[in-house]
Chains A and B, each alone.
Chain A
Amino acid sequence: MHATRPTDDAALARPSSQVARPVPGSTAGPGVPPAARSAPVAAPDAPPEQELDEATLVVRAQEGDVRAFEVLARRHQAVLFRVAVRIVGDPADAEDALQDALLDAWRRIARFHRDAAFSTWMYRIVTNSCLDLLRRRRPALPVDEVGEERLAGPGSDGPERAAEADAGMAALRAALGRLPDEQRVCWVLRELEGMGYTEIAHITGATETAVRGRIHRARKELAEVMRAWR
């Protein structure tokens, strides 16, 4: 049964004889260029999905293929988790935000437009998930007001941070946690993830001018705080 893989299950497989079986390896007919002919003739196993290109995986996931989605998600999870930690400031919160984001991505993937970069789309979903989580955690604080002083923010000095060997980095983390969320998101994507203004604008849904402004304010604020550490 060539339509299926010759695994242990083959023993259980229903023998089927009434259908003409295409013979694997018979591709290399007279009209086939040498490159194709030199390929192995033995029935190849299908390549593992982990080796598939992103465009193929995205289309498959859009058509409801759960495994294709899993491969995509596994491929991006380390980067997305890193971004989430940097935005929300806490690994446990980042885990929650990323789980929500990936489930959200599965639900929305049919609406992903293939002319956009998949990674940008995933960044956007994770970023929004992080912002949602932060809003839920601090519902009373006006998160969008620039310069609003925070009582507590992600990355503020908790016990685990106090033990940080790099005191400068601890101070930066605390200052970062006090930035307005929208500023922190833009700054993280620019300064820690190394993205350009255009991509950040696509991810955040803000204009490029707004992105530049937020990053600049964040930079100035952080520089101010960090002067003491120079």
Chain B
Amino acid sequence: MALDPSAAATGPGADEQIEPLACGRDAAVVWDHAADGMLDEHERGCPHCAAAIADAHGLDGVVHRMAQEQPLPPPSLMDTVMEAVLDTVTAELRPQDLLALDSPAGPARLSRPAAARVLRHAVDRMDGMRARSCRIEQDGVHLTVAITVTARFGVDLASVTARVRQMVVAAGEQALGAPVARVDITVVDLWDEP
């Protein structure tokens, strides 16, 4: 899936041909060997390879210095990006991204990603547990939650599953104000404390 149409359009052509050296060796391979300091016996003694090797070594120092440069992004860059991201998020909130809240005072909706974030947070606060995916469906006012979690090695999965369910139900009621009718929990990975 080339994102770049021109790259996809570039078929086999002049760009791809690497003319072999007079000794028959692939010039790119010889260059790679020279750059990595892994020349074989032929390359070390061959006059045709020598020119390619000299080019490689000649560039090596200045390229190495260039590679050492670490230009840093301006601190404002991410702020600008996140502003733009938040703009798209709000502007693109579609009806299917929203859960209905049971308010007696008029139509009330809650962003589905925001609700998922709240439920994940409830699981994250459990010792040795991390929420990964959290998908919420709504049937009437009731929520059905499918959540995937990762657990620290040694955590008892059977007992923790019951607690995850409790936490999600409690967060649904207390933080969202929406009853959770069903919680499907899948443990997808285990991890060690870093």
Contacts and interface: CB of A to CB of B under 8 A. Distances in A.
Asked if the two chains touch in their complex, CB atoms less than 8 Å apart, one says yes
Contacts of A34: 154
A222 B62 CA distance: 11
Most central of A29, A125, A183 by chain B CB within 10 Å: A29
Interface of B: 1-4, 6-8, 10, 12, 14-18, 27-28, 31, 55-56, 58-59, 61-63, 65-67, 69-74, 77-78, 80-82, 84-86, 88-89, 97, 111-113, 116-118, 120-122, 124-128, 130-135, 148, 150, 152-156, 158-160, 163, 166-167, 169-171, 173-175, 189, 191, 194
Contacts of B18: 212-213, 216
A224 to B, nearest CB: 8
Interface residues of A, number: 98
Given A27-B127, A124-B3, A66 B89 contact: yes
A207 B16 contact: yes
A82 B88 contact: no
Nearest to B165: A22
Given A63-B113, A82-B70, A146 B15 contact: yes
B156 A4 contact: no
Contacts of A32: 155-156, 159
Contact of A77 (B73, B124, B156): B73
B35 to A, nearest CB: 8
Given A60-B120, A205-B3, A230-B58, 11 more contacts: A27-B128, A32-B156, A35-B153, A44-B125, A64-B113, A81-B77, A168-B62, A172-B66, A204-B7, A206-B10, A209-B12
A78 interface: yes
29 contacts: A1-B174, A3-B175, A20-B170, A31-B158, A36-B128, A36-B156, A46-B121, A63-B113, A65-B117, A70-B85, A77-B78, A95-B74, A99-B80, A131-B6, A146-B14, A168-B61, A168-B65, A182-B10, A204-B7, A205-B4, A209-B16, A210-B15, A212-B16, A214-B15, A216-B27, A217-B15, A219-B55, A223-B55, A223-B58
B10 A144 contact: yes
A52 interface: yes
Given A64-B113, A172-B66, A214-B15, A16 B3 contact: no
A24 B125 contact: yes
A56 B65 contact: no
B183 to A, nearest CB: 13
A1 B122 CA distance: 11
A16 B173 contact: yes
Contacts of B88: 103, 106-107
B123 to A, nearest CB: 9
A45 interface: yes
